[in-house]
Structure 1
Amino acid sequence: MKKLLFAIFIFSSLYVFLFTFLASSQPPIKPVEPAPRPRPDFQPSQPPSGFQPPAYYPPCEGWIEVIQPVIIKYPGRFGEETITTLNQYERKIIQIPENLIPAELKVTYRLKNKTNYYLRLDNLWIRYGNRGWAHPPVNFTPFEQKNIEQKIILNEGSGGQYLYFGIGGPRGCQEDTLMIFFNAFLMVHIIVL
């Protein structure tokens, strides 16, 4: 009987030892993750069904304004960039050395949509004297402000006269006249070196 108890003790010890050894050598059991929920039948880049993009309207008179001042950057006497600010109905003189003609002027201004409509300016322009420069179409969300930068090339001075400098847009929504957002006068004086 002692031999039988001894054999049972040995086998049970061996069983516990092997079970512990095998259990510790196995990787831990990961919990089962639930299956992912089915996604809706549209891609993130596509708008949901029934979505209508906003309609952009041409502005009426007074819906767009230029937040002043208009900033004009041009080459200075020693080739450095010179900055001049121009306010509504103001007269300014800028001086450009003759060796930098034709000169590139960078005109920067900020337009503001004063309404809660989505607006589109198809024909935005700058006029200096009898020349004009167009800008690509600009879209506005309600009450949005946008910085606009346009480059204009001057091949000659203004001949000692103040010439009209204006920023305007398309014809108004109800009128047949061009909308003017900004009016001023600018004299370009060419410096002889």
Structure 2
Amino acid sequence: MKNPKVQVRRKPRQSRAKLTQEALQESFVQLLHKCHAHKITIREITDVAGVGLGTFYEYFSKKEDLVALTIHQHVKSNAEMLKNYAQSRMELSTKLSFEDYLQQIIHFQIQQIQAQQFLWAQTFLLERQISSVESYQKSYAMMVQMWHSILEPYVNDEGQLKRISLNVQRVCYGFVSQTLLVEPEFGEWQVLEVDIFQSLGKLNFE
């Protein structure tokens, strides 16, 4: 069954409004560590955030809209972190091979996911339960664009760059998301990282 398109009633334009919306997202994540998402009530979210129910409905029409936005912001934050890390690698050394550069970026990505393993496991699960097709496509496209920016210094041909960026996202996302969906408390991260590298090595990057 197709999920309805997520609607955010009010986009925060002032810093105070933005902080309120962020507080609601942080409250949901905090509660998520204590119980399943479907058991968390809007009242509990607003109580933890220190705002009233009316404030919640200024921004969201239902809890699912808050959940979908939280997922999107979490993915967006991760993408920005990876781009910043990639930029730091380029500034430190201009002699990195493409393979070494890509391996370092993926290693960093795995470390960040492992550090927030519970949240990522919940994100992948809720992504399938809550996000509309449009929201999922938007987040996926954002990650492909992230890889496009990261790999651009090494790939001159635009068509090839688009293909490689998509394939790297397919492999990384597929391995990590499927692993955490099946085994939320997965522990063999070094093995998973090796498997990702081996799979990427089979792709034609020429």
TM-score bracket for this pair, using the shorter chain length: under 0.3
Structure number with the higher helix fraction is: 2
Structure number with the higher strand fraction is: 1
